[in-house]
Structure 1
Amino acid sequence: MSRFERYEIREALPGDAEGIAFVHIKSWKTSYAGIIDQSYLDNISYDQRLALRKKILASKDPLQLVVTLNGQIVGFADAGPLRPELHHERYSFFKDSQEKRAEIYAIYLLEEHKGKGLGRALYQHCRD
């Protein structure tokens, strides 16, 4: 666990599913407005995101981190092994490599907490 101003970065717990689902949806709606079709953003299902997050948290894989402010989740990150099945030929040269490769699957923050170095801190925690 580490502190960043009044923020705390820690591993996600099963009880964090609701907060992570909320951040995921809200950050998509602000970050992708004007990029992704608005009707899609308007219809993102909280129940589906919550069910998915509960499943991910139960699996303990990938690494899942949350950023909290006074106990409230304001951001999260997921990281784990490189997923070559998603990247096809772009990463085929890693197949025979003895080096460990990893990937950050997601980093999301609520809009009002951006610009404070939290994304960078999450990235660093994922790398460590």
Structure 2
Amino acid sequence: MGYRSITTVNVSGGKETNPLWTAQVSNAAFKIALEASLAAAGYMGTEGRPLTVTASLIELKQPFAGLDLSVTSQVRYSVEGGGRTLFDETVGATGTASMGDALIATERLKIANEKSIQENIKEFLRRFRERAR
């Protein structure tokens, strides 16, 4: 199920980073990362029944300060095709950035955001792959 048949990816819930506040994850950046991961895993394409992946960023839990910054993301993923929902789960994942990643806290937070979203997408792909068997 799903191999080379995801034709559409929709993303919502992201926010643009405000330079005067904390780093965020934009819908555009999240969509690019999700599409690239789906393509690398062999799911993007037009060979099977067309499927749509929808990812809604529910929460991006960020620390206010610290040396090691951990960000937890909660994303609800659904996969639909042929009028049916084939997958509908909320996935949580954490990404951490340390002083070794960046000395400046705002850069560490950005890296922690990216790592959290990367881990979240990996977990979604793992669950979707298991469901597809």
- Please give the TM-score of this superposition, normalised by the length of structure 2: 0.30
User: Greater share of strand residues, 1 or 2?
Assistant: 2
Structure with bigger RCO (C-alpha 8 Å, 6+ apart): 1
- Please give the TM-score of this superposition, normalised by the length of structure 1: 0.31
User: Greater share of helix residues, 1 or 2?
Assistant: 1
